A and B are shown apart, each in its own frame.
Chain A
Amino acid sequence: MKSRMLAFASVGALALGMMTSAASAQTELRMTWYNDGIEGEVMQDLLDRFEAEHPDITVSLDVVPYSAILESLPVQLAAGDGPDVARITDLGGLSEHYLDLTPYISDPAYWEENFGPFLNWLRPAGDDAISGFMTQMTVTGPYVNRTLFEQAGVDLPGDGATWDDWAAASSQVAEALDIPIPMAWDRSGHRVAGPAISMGAHMFDADGNPALVDDGLKEMTQRLYDWHQDGTMAQELWGSVSGSTYLGANEDFANAQVVLYMSGSWQIPQFAETIGDAFDWWAVPAPCGPAGCTGMPGGAALVAMAGTEHPEEVGILMDYLSSEDVLSEFYGRTLFIPGHLGLAQGGIDFDTDDPRASHALEVFAGAVPTISPIAFELQGYPNNRVMFNALISRLGEAIVGELTLDEAYDRMTQDVEQQLAEQARDN
């Protein structure tokens, strides 16, 4: 009899221990987060301070791998098991799950004024909801290894240089110094979109429907294809994985194996850490095409979710995090380009004494006004990832020779159509 009691007691204790969160007077908020660098630590600092100021609210930071943000979070939100707040990158695609914070924040006008253009990315339906703010604004653009240029005695192409100029200069440097990879691009449709728009791609037809493949896009993809064939770009980056898998060349660039690396502003903190002053990694303005010289804007946003049971507290939290001095500290310490117009204008005091990092931050922040309206529209389009994925996966298959370029174009169009049609079945 005694042993039975014991068994029951221990099972009960175990069960209790495994039940989640006990009831308490405090309101608990959950924030789902992913990390590229140190931003999680900075956010944790800010949250600690927030909790000190608001003893009745606790905020738990749940750090997940980025793949969970893309793959698991949508399923969790759809099932009603999502967090209160999440850092996401699929800005428009998840908008049906967002909470409109307007009634819960103290000064909606402040939000409109400072986050205006980005708020639109979060509300593809065209309403006037306020759901969150950008934890970082990103701009795509190239970095060059300026030390290699100096050693090879090649001048950096100046303002207004085209992609062809940069490709030629990089190849020249690589040849002179025996560098294996003249040029590397992140394997990402988002990265290709900016240069394609520079070449005259429109991305949408006259009615605003997605029209991925046009002459402008073909101009760029043909070049990318050729560069892979003639060795300007290395097969290994785009050729070595399938589908829409992202791959960066940051390690090769940091190892001085790459002359020009097309990536974006988010690499700055990492390069400052891994390269330091080993060579001059230098951000340069987006190269040009006939239709302009644009990169793609982008970034991650911290948004409130409609499934929350504590909208008031979420409002208080978002008010705190979006306030000017808190955000300024966040951007400054993480070396992120501000997604806050006031701070962007006033300038951020970035926490770095690396001249290369400061220069790169200047270049990317300065590139924001030159971004093409098409690029902004594409970034705000809720299904843009459908387009990016179709673009990069089919282009990748063409580059490794599984498809011809023309077949790849047909497949891109087909992929986009099919996925949009599948989505249209919901109604």
Chain B
Amino acid sequence: MADTATTERRTLWGFLTATRGRGRLHWTDVFTYLYLFLGVVLMFGPAVWLALSSFKTQSGLLEFPPTLLPLGQIEVEVEGYDEPLLLFDVTMEDGSVRQLAQIRRVGIVAQMVDPAEPDVRIDVPIDQRTATREFRVAVENYTDPLERFNFLTFLQNSVIVTVVATLVTLLINSMAAYALSIYEFRGRNAIMLLVIGTLMIPITVILVPVYLVVTELGLVNSLWAVILPGAATPTGVFLLRQYMLTIPRDLIEAARMDKASEWQIYWRVVMPLAMPAIAVLAIFSIMWRWNDFLWPLIVLNRSEVYTLQIGLNAFQGELNVQWHYVLAMTVVTLIPVVVVFAFLQRFITTGIASSGMK
């Protein structure tokens, strides 16, 4: 039984005395901070790298070694040339380095010109020049696809699916969990066994049968086809039931004495008490639905019902994967996750810790 006040005090106390302690560092202290440092690098680093890369141009992505920041080659206007020319750093024969603009390249020789003296043409072997670059963000990786597609429609569909599916899931799962945790009735064990037995069946292996059912119901190409099949999550029922088991029976008996209907007991007494577990399920449901890809891809084939995940993955062609778009669109789908996480992280982490997942 962890008492809040002592927890608070302990944390505060710990914070104040963290390094004073016995006056010397135990090896575990060093290890702790080393581990945490590595953890931050390893957990955040990859996502940050993805975000940085998504701002690089298509050719910038192909470079090795990759540059940390997105760079683009500088273009200059040179007198006498209609198009802007690309700027290079050129190592001259005498070893000096000059900035020249390239007119054209012929085989292994580049014809270049000094922007200051546009009349003199200089021939340079191409391995003597490197592109002069500056920091430039390839915003077009984002804007191109977003302009080309009905981004707002996709977003709206994703939001509808996520919100409606989460509400349906929360409602029916909590009702079932309520029945399974509060009442003694015939068949309860059988139903529990059913729930647990199917807890672990990956949807991937029953895709085709579920598709047949959805077809029979005439739901293909409607958002309901995405919302309904996953609504009765065994995970949710299990999690909520475990939590509701910890609710004192006296509260329910007292409510019955007050002539509350069973629905009122569920809605006004049990649900508020089960909030931490419901919050956990809500967050998981939001993540599941938002990230769902394989299933919507099969049941939705009209662009007006596409969710973001399908719409943004249309860049995977037969022969070319357009990495610059793939990375950018991955970041776009990540943004809501990060936002939700930033706002709710305290809720999520303490919620799981205090819910029945133990």
Report which A residues bind B (CB closer than 8 A).
Answer: 14, 17-21, 30, 32, 34-37, 40-41, 60-69, 72-73, 75-76, 79-83, 89, 146-147, 150-151, 246, 248, 250-251, 254-255, 264, 266-267, 270, 273-274, 277-278, 280, 300
| A19 touching B301, Cβ below 8 Å | no
| A72 touching B297, Cβ below 8 Å | yes
Give the docked Cα–Cα distance between A30 and B302 (Å): 8
What is the minimal beta-carbon distance from A130 to any residue of chain B, in angstroms? 24
Q: Which 4 residue pairs are nearest across A and B when measured between Cβ atoms? A: A36-B317, A65-B316, A66-B318, A63-B314
Residues of B within 8 Å of A82, CB to CB, are: 301
| A64 touching B320, Cβ below 8 Å | no
**A18-B222, A251-B62 known; A277-B104 Cβ under 8 A:** yes
Residues of A within 8 Å of B223, CB to CB, are: 18
| A254 touching B320, Cβ below 8 Å | no
Residues of A within 8 Å of B302, CB to CB, are: 20-21, 30, 60, 62, 83
Residues of A within 8 Å of B313, CB to CB, are: 65
Q: Kindly identify which residue among A14, A62, A81 contacts B220, using a CB–CB cutoff of 8 Å.
A: A81
* Extra pairs beyond A63-B149, A79-B212, A83-B302 (13, CB < 8 Å): A36-B320, A60-B303, A60-B304, A61-B303, A63-B303, A72-B298, A82-B301, A89-B318, A248-B320, A266-B319, A270-B320, A274-B59, A278-B105
The reply to whether the CB of B138 lies closer than 8 angstroms to some CB of chain A is no
| A81 touching B301, Cβ below 8 Å | yes
| A81 touching B304, Cβ below 8 Å | no
Q: Which residues of B from 310 to 348 have beta carbons under 8 Å from A?
A: 310-311, 313-320, 322-323
Residues of A within 8 Å of B197, CB to CB, are: none
The reply to whether the CB of B27 lies closer than 8 angstroms to some CB of chain A is no
Q: Which residues of B from 119 to 169 have beta carbons under 8 Å from A?
A: 126-127, 148-149, 160, 164
**A75-B208, A151-B108, A277-B105 known; A36-B318 Cβ under 8 A:** yes
Give the docked Cα–Cα distance between A83 and B301 (Å): 8
| Pairs across A and B, CB under 8 Å, 13 listed | A18-B222, A60-B303, A65-B316, A66-B316, A68-B301, A72-B298, A76-B220, A79-B212, A82-B301, A150-B108, A255-B62, A277-B105, A278-B59
What is the minimal beta-carbon distance from B293 to any residue of chain A, in angstroms? 10
Residues of A within 8 Å of B305, CB to CB, are: 20
Residues of B within 8 Å of A35, CB to CB, are: 314-315, 317
| B107 touching A280, Cβ below 8 Å | yes
Residues of B within 8 Å of A36, CB to CB, are: 317-320
The reply to whether the CB of B215 lies closer than 8 angstroms to some CB of chain A is yes
Residues of B within 8 Å of A32, CB to CB, are: 301
Report the nearest B residue to A30, measured CB to CB: B302
Q: Which residues of B from 196 to 229 have beta carbons under 8 Å from A?
A: 208, 211-212, 215, 220-224
The reply to whether the CB of B58 lies closer than 8 angstroms to some CB of chain A is yes
The reply to whether the CB of B63 lies closer than 8 angstroms to some CB of chain A is yes
| B64 touching A255, Cβ below 8 Å | yes
Q: Kindly identify which residue among A30, A79, A89, A151 contacts B215, using a CB–CB cutoff of 8 Å.
A: A79
Report the nearest B residue to A37, measured CB to CB: B320
What is the minimal beta-carbon distance from A72 to any residue of chain B, in angstroms? 5
Residues of B within 8 Å of A278, CB to CB, are: 59, 105
Report the nearest B residue to A17, measured CB to CB: B160
